[in-house]
Chain A
């Protein structure tokens, strides 16, 4: 919930990356000045030992006051997060289960092109 809603603001610590299955959405977030779109595939993410959370899974979690890791005190905020997921066709990549000594730089180079 914190990640999808951008709570704690820019530069916040998060174990997730937001991705989109729609190039238009990714381009919109990349903006016109300085951003770029990176590509990956679910199979690539999974082969790198990283967990992919699909849009369908997210939409299932974001109901009522949220389920599982999406459990949250405010139903309003859960619904707002759900709106973002649907609108931007959002998927998450979760790095939280990696070992502490994982080489993230090398991992990201493997996942994204």
Chain B
């Protein structure tokens, strides 16, 4: 049931698929996840699904698992102290890593967008995973609270900036043992991260559709990429992004429009 576990939840920015740290961190429950593949809660927002499916599955999951505590997937019982930790020493242990520092800081003292900005400046696949995972749920929550798609404006711009950058996976970032050759394992992980970028852009497109903005053209970006590449090939997907994907994103939000909307946002903040 790994897809239903904290490993696959957007509130855990430290892991996705085979890539990440050994332990996870839940930004909702503010706990280190010692055995994340065995844990879940009713807030699960799956990284591996597009917006409509992720929303539907979250609602179903919430009927079976409480949102208020982390539970064991297998038994549905609330997890004990051996499986999660909120101790300062455990959190500090994570903070020697720059990505983990930004993730564990996320949400403390109302600094969510600052944490995302920090992550956007970091290189590497794990920074990608953290930025995309936490950014995804940041915008969803803003929308759920009546906000506009432009709560993800900077996120869109940061993803656009790294869209044609190959996800750099350090061999030490692979966190599981499988029989797959390591080169293929890395390729699958890179594919997943590219798709996660497109998934978050598609989310923003869906939100913009509700508001009638031109970014709505991105709503089917991830689906189109899968349909047009057809193969589970990182190289093929990366080529599609460098040509079709980049052009579509550029058309959906020009630099002038970004600056105008950004200026509007700052006026809203100071007004």
User: Which residues in A have some Cβ–Cβ distance to B below 8 Å?
Assistant: 5-11, 22, 24-25, 28-29, 31-35, 63-65, 74-80, 82-84, 86-89
Contacts and interface: CB of A to CB of B under 8 A. Distances in A.
B178 A87 contact: yes
A34 B74 contact: yes
A29 to B, nearest CB: 7
B191 A33 contact: no
B18 A86 contact: no
B60 A63 contact: no
B128 interface: no
A84 B209 CA distance: 31
A24 B178 contact: yes
Nearest to A84: B3
A87 B189 CA distance: 10
B179 A9 contact: no
A79 B226 contact: yes
Nearest to B61: A9
A74 B50 contact: yes
B1 interface: yes
A77 B50 contact: yes
Interface of B: 1-4, 17-18, 35, 37-38, 40, 48-50, 53, 57, 60-61, 64-65, 72-76, 83, 176-180, 184-185, 188, 191-192, 195, 222-223, 225-227, 230-232
A80 B226 CA distance: 9
A8, A31, A82 interface centre (most CB from chain B within 10 Å): A31
B65, B72, B185, B223 interface centre (most CB from chain A within 10 Å): B223
A89 to B, nearest CB: 6
B53 A7 contact: yes
Closest 6 CB pairs between A and B?
Answer: A75-B226, A76-B226, A75-B227, A22-B179, A6-B3, A31-B38
Nearest to B199: A76
18 contacts: A5-B48, A7-B57, A10-B61, A10-B76, A11-B64, A22-B178, A25-B179, A28-B37, A28-B176, A31-B74, A75-B227, A76-B225, A79-B195, A83-B17, A83-B232, A84-B3, A87-B17, A87-B180
Contact of B18 (A22, A31, A34, A87): A87
Contacts of A76: 50, 195, 222-223, 225-227
A86 B1 contact: no
Given A25-B179, A64-B227, A74-B223, A33 B35 contact: yes
A86 B180 contact: yes
Contacts of A64: 227, 230
Given A32-B38, A82-B232, 16 more contacts: A5-B48, A7-B53, A8-B60, A9-B57, A10-B1, A10-B65, A10-B76, A33-B83, A63-B230, A63-B231, A75-B223, A76-B225, A77-B50, A79-B195, A86-B188, A86-B232
B77 to A, nearest CB: 10
A88 to B, nearest CB: 7
A5 B57 CA distance: 11
A23 B230 CA distance: 30
